[in-house]
């Protein structure tokens, strides 16, 4: 859905500018690349470069981040990310001094040497068994390299010198390797940036691993987070160090003219729009936020207040089927229903969208189940009232994914 004004972006920017104690990290994925456009696996290959769409999105992202005083910038040394950083930094104010910009191969994309450059459908056909393991058990996925002495394809560019490319063994676990690399990155940089604001420009897999290791998520949930091209995610480290971070926002794309990020996997299945209950003004803003989205059904509580809030949000959706639930264990029941792959998700040839309205606790539990978080880790999700979070349950064979968190108007 295209934004018709800058109001949403302006409100979000003000939230990002607020005073924050501890270390704040804003993570941005690179813009659309040639391999993205062609539907190819990229991995740590350095053959892919930005498209014009990618360059434009990078500039829009830089403009959106104007006014934030970044104490340091860390970027992957691969070309598509360096190009994104250059486009962003070229329009950002205040200007960032060159000595605050650090490029490192530690932030490169996940290493997939046997797949990189191949079309997604080619990998699914030629490496069918490995691909199933990659999707369903990423922590067990092992890759055998064709050549353990890969040539370094990175390019040295002014102000962004590439770090030496590490040697890959003949056989390794790409996801476990990536998580280990992300953990080491946090351990190395966070002690130097207490109470500062950092910008990280990197890749989808790497950003997901950075968020996961900061929150303590297991590698089994590698595919449980979405990161769109130039999508913005925000982590807060309250004490300035690793233990543990708080997720303030995930995969925000309003600055690109999109309210809800497009589904990355199969554009079918079930999509839930999660809305924490709030006051009337907040709910009216949510109503405007999802005004042009197709909403097939809604789920809310049985009390009069819940019904009134649901009616406020759905005022532009007269055909939406409104359901009410009484049970407090709704999140568990819902997850069980999804796990059994009911006809609601398996027999649909299109995307079905439902609105879930509930307390912060209920919304957090639904997200926690997707991410595999423990009950005592719910506080690591900084849900905002008047915001929308999105979970996508693809068709059978794929795990549920948190597409975005805290989309706000």
CB of 345 closer than 8 Å to CB of 269: yes
The verdict on whether 87 is a catalytic residue reads no
As a whole number of angstroms, the distance between CA 210 and CA 74 comes to: 13
CB of 300 closer than 8 Å to CB of 358: yes
As a whole number of angstroms, the distance between CA 291 and CA 283 comes to: 12
CATH of span 269-408: 3.40.50.1240
User: Per-residue pLDDT averaged across 174-186, rounded?
Assistant: 97
The verdict on whether 122 is a catalytic residue reads no
pLDDT in tens, 33-62: 999 999 999 999 999 999 999 999 999 999
Greater pLDDT, 377 or 74:
74
As a whole number of angstroms, the distance between CA 271 and CA 274 comes to: 10
Specify the DSSP class assigned to residue 150.
P
For 87-125, letters b (16+ CB in 10 Å) and e give: bbbebbeeebeeeebbbbbbbbbbbbbbbbbbeeeebee
Out of 32, 83, 109, 248, the active site residue is 109
Query: SS3 string of 48-61?
Result: CCECHHHHHHHHHH
pLDDT at 351: 87
pTM value is: 0.88
As a whole number of angstroms, the distance between CA 228 and CA 16 comes to: 19
Rg of the chain on CA atoms, in Å:
21
H-run or E-run covering 337: helix 330-339
The CATH-assigned architecture of domain 7-256 is 3-Layer(aba) Sandwich (3.40)
Out of 30, 102, 223, 392, the active site residue is 30
CA-to-CA separations, 9 to 64, 167, 279, 381, in angstroms, rounded? 7, 42, 21, 21
Is there a shared CATH topology between the 7-256 domain and the 269-408 domain?
Answer: yes
* β-pair partners for 276: 358
User: Per-residue pLDDT averaged across 386-400, rounded?
Assistant: 86
Res 115 pLDDT > 70:
yes
- Domain range list for the chain: 7-256, 269-408
């Amino acid at each position: 859905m295209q934004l018709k004004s800058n109001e949403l972006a302006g409100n979000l920017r003000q939230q990002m500018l607020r005073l924050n104690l501890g270390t704040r990290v804003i993570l941005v994925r690179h813009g659309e690349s040639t391999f993205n456009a062609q539907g190819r696996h990229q991995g740590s290959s350095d053959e892919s470069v930005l498209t014009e769409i990618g360059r434009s999105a990078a500039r829009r992202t830089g403009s959106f981040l104007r006014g934030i005083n970044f104490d340091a910038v860390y970027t992957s040394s691969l070309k598509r990310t360096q190009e994104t950083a250059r486009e962003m930094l070229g329009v950002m104010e205040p200007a960032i001094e060159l000595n605050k910009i650090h490029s490192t191969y530690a932030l490169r994309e996940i290493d997939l040497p046997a797949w990189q450059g191949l079309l997604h459908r080619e990998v699914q056909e030629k490496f069918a068994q490995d691909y199933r393991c990659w999707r369903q058990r990423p922590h067990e996925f092992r890759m055998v390299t064709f050549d353990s002495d890969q040539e370094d394809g990175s390019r040295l560019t002014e102000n962004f010198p590439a770090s030496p490319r590490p040697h890959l063994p003949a056989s390794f676990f790409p996801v476990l390797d990536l998580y280990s690399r992300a953990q080491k990155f946090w351990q190395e940089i966070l002690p130097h940036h207490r109470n500062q604001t950092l910008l990280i420009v990197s890749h989808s897999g790497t950003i997901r691993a950075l968020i996961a290791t900061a929150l303590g998520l297991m590698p089994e949930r590698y595919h449980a987070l979405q990161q769109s091209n130039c999508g913005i995610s925000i982590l807060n480290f309250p004490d300035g160090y690793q233990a543990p971070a708080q997720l303030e926002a995930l995969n925000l794309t309003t600055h690109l003219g999109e309210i809800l990020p497009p589904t990355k996997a199969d554009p079918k299945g079930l999509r839930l729009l999660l809305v924490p209950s709030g006051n009337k003004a907040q709910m009216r803003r949510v109503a405007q936020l999802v005004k042009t989205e197709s909403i097939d059904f809604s789920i809310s509580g049985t009390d009069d207040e819940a019904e009134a809030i649901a009616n406020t949000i759905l005022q532009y959706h007269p055909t939406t089927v409104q359901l009410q639930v009484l049970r407090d264990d709704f999140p568990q029941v819902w997850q069980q229903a999804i796990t059994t792959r009911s006809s609601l998700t398996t027999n649909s040839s299109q995307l079905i969208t439902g609105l879930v309205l509930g307390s912060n606790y209920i919304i957090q539990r639904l997200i926690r189940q997707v991410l595999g978080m423990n009950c005592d880790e719910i506080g690591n999700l900084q849900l905002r009232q008047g915001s929308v979070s999105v979970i996508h349950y693809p068709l059978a064979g794929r795990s549920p994914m948190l597409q975005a968190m805290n989309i706000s108007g």
